[in-house]
Chain A
Amino acid sequence: QVQLQESGPGLVKPSQTLSLTCTVSGGSISSGSYYWSWIRQPAGKGLEWVGRIYTGGSTNSNPSLKSRVTISVDTSKNQFSLKLSFVTAADTAVYYCARGLARKGVAGRVIYGAFDIWGQGTMVTVSS
C-alpha cells in the first residue's frame, strides 16, 4: 500500500522560498510507471495544480506561478520536493503531494493518468 506524507515548515516569510518534501512509502519513486505532483488548496477554496515530475525526467508546472516552481526527486531517499520562491500571502494554502500513473506512448510521448494517491496535506502560511 503506497502512502505519501508531506513535510516542511508551516510558516514562511514573504519573499522567501517555500520548501516541502513528500516521502513515498510502500513503493519505489524510481518506477517509471508513475509521476509525482503537487496540488494546493487555499482555505475554503478550490484545488490548484502546482506541477509534476515524471521520473523519466520531465517536469511541468502551472504557468500561473510564473516560473517560481522547482520540483525535484531524490531517489536515494524515496522523496520528491517542491520549492516555491518569492512567496506572498497568496501562496498560503494546504499543499498536497500526489501520485498518478504514467506511461510512454507513441513517439515517446508520456501519457498521464489522474492523481490516484494523495498525501494528507500540510498547511503552509506565508506571513512575517
Chain B
Amino acid sequence: EIVLTQSPGTLSLSPGEGAALSCRASQSVSSSYLAWYQQKPGQAPRLLIYVTSSRATGIPDRFSGSGSGTDFTLTISRLEPEDFAVYYCLQYDSTPWTFGQGTKVEIK
C-alpha cells in the first residue's frame, strides 16, 4: 500500500498570500496518477487537479500541481477567501487507492 504523507498539517495564511502544500508518497506513484481535492465543512470533496498537474473543469488557474515520483505539490498562487479549506492528495496508481491525511489551510 502506498502511504501518502501531507505537510504541513495546518497552514495559517492571509488572503492574497501564496500556499504550497506537499504530498510525499512511500513509493513511486507511476504514471503520475496523483490528484488533489478541496473539502469544505459539510461538503463532499471537489476535484482540483488530476494526473499531477491537470486542472479539473472550472478550477481557477491560481491552483496548480507539480511533481513526480514520490514528491508532489499543490500551489495556490493567491489565496481567495473561498480557498480556506482542507486539501487532500489521492494516489490512484495502485490499489488500494489511498489519500493523504489532509492539510488544513486556515485564515491567519
Q: Does A associate with B in a complex? A: yes
- Tally B residues with Cβ within 8 Å of A: 23
Nearest B-chain residue to A6, judged by Cβ? B44
Q: Is B60 an interface residue (CB 8 A)?
A: no
Specify which chain B residues have a CB less than 8 angstroms from the CB of A96 in the assembled complex.
44-45
Cβ contact within 8 Å between A112 and B92 = yes
Cβ contact within 8 Å between A118 and B50 = no
A64-B47 contact, Cβ under 8 Å, with A46-B102, A114-B35: no
Total A-B Cβ pairs within 8 A: 50
Interface residues on chain A, size class? 10 to 19
A49-B96 contact, Cβ under 8 Å, with A113-B50, A116-B56: yes
CB distance from A67 to the nearest CB of B (A): 13
Specify which chain A residues have a CB less than 8 angstroms from the CB of B100 in the assembled complex.
46
Nearest B-chain residue to A64, judged by Cβ? B96
A102 to B37, CA, bound (A): 19
Cβ contact within 8 Å between A47 and B35 = no
Cβ contact within 8 Å between B44 and A119 = yes
Q: Is A33 an interface residue (CB 8 A)?
A: no
Cβ contact within 8 Å between B88 and A114 = no
Cβ contact within 8 Å between A118 and B88 = no
Interface residues of B (CB under 8 A from A): 1, 33, 35, 37, 43-47, 50-51, 56, 88, 90, 92, 95-102
Among all A-B residue pairs, the 5 with the closest Cβ atoms:
A114-B35, A118-B44, A114-B50, A49-B97, A47-B99
